[in-house]
Amino acid sequence: MNAAATFGELVARLDYPMFIVTAAAGERRAGCLVGFATQSSIDPPRFLVCLSRRNRTYRLAVDVDALAVHLVPAEAEELAELFGGETGDETDKFARCAWGVGPEGLPILAGCANWFAGRVLERVDLGDHVGFLLEPVDGHAADDLSEFTFHRAKRIDAGHEA
């Protein structure tokens, strides 16, 4: 097996929490399910979100100052399907879920009680994804510690090919 195939096998075995990342520019809104995301610094606090250039969310995110990062709870399968399996190019995801306007005008999903808003500090070319380095500026931490993880999410057919 070549190195790329071995790498593919290994990363398919990993499990990690899924996020829903949302953005808004005026009346335009976008959001998608994201697995490529991680804290990248403690002090200063920083978080890296990787968005595929194919996604509508990426196309909106290139022009905005902030993104909202929602932790997806274990029971939120429908939300994960909506934001991971549909593309905003064809479906108004925000007409199909409950949400409100949060800090920086960001759409905050009612189904995800744990979230933070991050100011975009840098956009970094990382391959077929672009990294958005975020500085948390607001957020909410609820008691729900459950997670919807990659091993459940990988059954979803992504709205845009990776």
What are the residues binding ligand FMN (CB under 6 A)?
Answer: 30, 32-36, 50-52, 55-57, 84, 86-89, 129, 150, 153-154, 156, 158-160
Question: Which ranges of the chain would DSSP assign to H, the alpha helix?
Answer: 3-13, 56-61, 77-85, 150-153
12 vs 141, which CB is nearer to ligand FMN?
A: 12
Diameter of the chain measured on Cα atoms: 49
CB of 143 to ligand FMN, least distance (A): 26
**Which residue in 114, 22, 125 sits closest to 64, CA to CA?**
22
CB of 76 to ligand FMN, least distance (A): 14
- Rounded to whole angstroms, how far apart are CA atoms 137 and 156? 31
* Three-state DSSP class for residue 95: helix
2 vs 146, which CB is nearer to ligand FMN?
A: 146
- Rounded to whole angstroms, how far apart are CA atoms 59 and 87? 12
Position closest to ligand FMN via CB: 159
CB of 73 to ligand FMN, least distance (A): 16
88 vs 107, which CB is nearer to ligand FMN?
A: 88
25 vs 156, which CB is nearer to ligand FMN?
A: 156
- Rounded to whole angstroms, how far apart are CA atoms 160 and 138? 29
CB of 137 to ligand FMN, least distance (A): 22
